[in-house]
Amino acid sequence: MIWIITVAAFFGTLIVFAVVFLFYSKRERIRDAFRASGQQKPDKRTSTRKAARVKLELSSLDESPISEITVTENVSHHGARVLTKNRWEPFENVQVTFLAESALAQARIAYCNPSGDEFATGLQFSLAISPWIRPRKL
């Protein structure tokens, strides 16, 4: 009888360690998901967006080699909304090339929602974009 309890305790310990290891190995993805869920709420926006058209190129930094030239709908120092032909995956990292300034920035796809035959795509810049971007007013 005591050996059954010992074996059950041993297997229970193995299962607990396996679950802890699984969560520990996925901790970055879990942490990013918690951070992202808090950043997508409108009341968490740190700066106001202004309607502006800035021509830029999006290039994927992740596994799939996608590149697309598009125009912003609105911009801020921390993000932008663009209309794209391609469907971009949320949390995907992209390189943004501001074509008029020949400047580069890195961003993360915050969302990508269907909008007619295009996609409304939100960009969240990794660093605040300085006033050197001079968007033309709509």
Q: Is the pLDDT of residue 42 over 50?
A: no
Q: What domain range includes position 125?
A: 47-137
In this structure, the answer to whether residues 72 and 104 fall within a common structural domain is yes
What is the C-alpha to C-alpha distance for residues 73 and 55, in angstroms, rounded to an integer? 10
What is the C-alpha to C-alpha distance for residues 84 and 64, in angstroms, rounded to an integer? 16
In this structure, the answer to whether residues 69 and 115 fall within a common structural domain is yes
Rounded to 10 deg, the angle between the 2-25 and 27-39 helix axes is: 50
In this structure, the answer to whether residues 35 and 56 fall within a common structural domain is no
- Copy the structure tokens of residue 37: 């869920």
Average pLDDT score, the chain: 81
pLDDT band of 19, cuts 50, 70, 90: confident
Interval 75-122: pLDDT, tens: 888 888 999 998 998 988 999 888 877 788 889 999 999 988 999 999
In this structure, the answer to whether residues 34 and 52 fall within a common structural domain is no
Torsion of CA 94, 31, 42, 51, to 10 degrees: -10
Residue length, the chain? 138
Return the closest-CA partner of residue 96 out of 86, 87, 107: 107
Residue 78's identity, in one-letter code, is H
Confidence at residue 41, expressed as pLDDT on a 0 to 100 scale: 47
Name the domain count of the chain.
2
